[in-house]
């Protein structure tokens, strides 16, 4: 089985840090298993976060998954040394990047990202995971290998578009159920999310904001993790709290002011700064 040499790659932090993978993958013993299209993929990292080898352990099902896909999903071409040098310009970020060395942003399918962050709003990580798992169980399709059902795929937009709000509700999605159905319909009938891939960040965000249940924060999450726009800076309660505490001496700031601050400070790498700020800030301020 071929392996990928890695530097500054922590599968654990990348998995855990509240990105779409954390919502539908399983992680144990430096091994991650998740549905990719109509395959179940399992990958394993040997070594440590400083230097390791990343193996594709198994791809069971009809969808191809190889080294190129692994590199893309985990953004293994990003030079973390350079990124750290650029974003860790103060003690807090220096500590964040040292403590969580190897935490990567992930590059996810736009629809997976959209559904994941629709569920995430006004919610907590554990429950996001619970709801996504239920949606997969109820609306995903069976992944069959060697005549056996070995898992469920991430639910397609069409599947949720044709579901009733009540059935989505039963998965625990609550008031988000209507957002999910409406946006699933929109993505099935009105646009193809993949067609937005060529747009620049501003145009992309504008288009994403058209979707029901997608506001400023969720649009930035989709731009960052579904389209790889590293200048996107999603501002949730923890980012707001952390930025106010660390950079503004606990003074309240508006979302607009925080966007301006992030753009000036981290520019094209604001998204990476945000991921470290979020994860470190959440543990630090709790």
Partner DNA sequence: ACCCAGGCGGGCG
Partner DNA sequence: CGCCCGCATGGG
Helix (H, G, I), strand (E, B) or coil at 134: helix
With vertex at residue 122, the alpha carbon angle to CA 280 and CA 241, rounded to the nearest 5 degrees, is: 35
Q: How far apart are CA 17 and CA 31, in angstroms?
A: 16
Asked if 149 and 169 count as a contact pair (C-beta separation under 8 A), the reply is: no
Only one of the segments 16-24, 36-44, 54-62, 65-73 lies at the binding site for DNA (rule: CB under 7 A); that segment is 16-24
Q: How far apart are CA 32 and CA 243, in angstroms?
A: 32
Show the binding pattern over residues 147-186: x = contacts DNA (CB under 7 A), - = does not.
----------------------x--x-xx---x-------
Within 13 Å and on the Cβ side, how many CA atoms surround 80? Answer: 21
Give the residue with the Cβ less far from DNA, 42 or 182: 182
The number of residues in the chain equals: 286
Helix (H, G, I), strand (E, B) or coil at 46: strand
Tell me which of 1, 91, 126, 148 binds DNA, using CB under 7 A. 126
Asked if 13 and 49 count as a contact pair (C-beta separation under 8 A), the reply is: yes
Tell me which of 130, 144, 165, 207 binds DNA, using CB under 7 A. 130
Give the residue with the Cβ less far from DNA, 17 or 153: 17
Residue 216 within binding range of DNA, rule CB under 7 A: yes
CB of 189 to DNA, least distance (A): 18
Residue 135 within binding range of DNA, rule CB under 7 A: no
CB of 43 to DNA, least distance (A): 20
| All residues at 6 or more sequence positions from 34 whose CB lies less than 8 Å from its CB, including other chains | 21, 24, 25, 26, 40, 41
Residue 58 within binding range of DNA, rule CB under 7 A: no
Q: How far apart are CA 65 and CA 34, in angstroms?
A: 12
CB of 60 to DNA, least distance (A): 28
Show the binding pattern over residues 246-275: x = contacts DNA (CB under 7 A), - = does not.
--------x-x-----------------xx
The binding site for DNA (CB under 7 A) comprises 17-19, 117, 120-128, 130, 169, 172, 174-175, 179, 212-219, 221, 234, 236-239, 254, 256, 274-275, 278, 282
């Amino acid at each position: 089985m071929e392996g990928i040499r890695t530097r500054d790659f922590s599968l654990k932090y990348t998995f855990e840090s509240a990105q779409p993978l954390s919502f539908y993958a399983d992680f144990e013993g430096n091994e991650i298993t998740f549905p990719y299209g109509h395959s179940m993929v399992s990958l394993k990292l040997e070594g440590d976060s400083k230097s390791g080898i990343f193996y594709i352990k198994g791809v069971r099902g009809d969808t191809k998954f190889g080294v190129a896909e692994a590199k893309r999903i985990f953004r293994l071409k990003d030079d973390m040394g350079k990124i750290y040098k650029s974003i860790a310009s103060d003690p807090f970020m220096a500590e964040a990047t040292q403590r969580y060395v190897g935490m990567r942003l992930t590059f996810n399918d736009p629809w997976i990202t959209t559904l994941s962050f629709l569920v995430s709003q006004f919610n907590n990580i554990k429950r996001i995971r619970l709801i996504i798992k239920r949606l997969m169980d109820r609306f995903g399709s069976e992944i069959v290998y060697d005549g056996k059902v070995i898992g469920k795929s991430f639910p397609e937009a069409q599947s949720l578009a044709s579901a009733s709000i009540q059935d989505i509700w039963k998965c625990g999605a609550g008031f988000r159920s209507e957002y999910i159905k409406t946006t699933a319909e929109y993505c099935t009938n009105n646009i193809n999310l993949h067609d937005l891939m060529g747009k620049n960040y501003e145009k992309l965000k504008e288009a994403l904001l058209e979707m029901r249940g997608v506001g400023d924060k969720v649009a930035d999450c989709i731009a960052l993790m579904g389209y790889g726009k590293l200048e996107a800076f999603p501002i949730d309660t923890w980012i707001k709290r952390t930025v106010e505490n660390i950079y503004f001496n606990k003074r309240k700031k508006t979302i607009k002011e925080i966007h301006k601050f992030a753009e000036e400070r981290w520019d094209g790498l604001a998204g990476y700064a945000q991921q470290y700020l979020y994860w470190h800030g959440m543990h630090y301020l709790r």
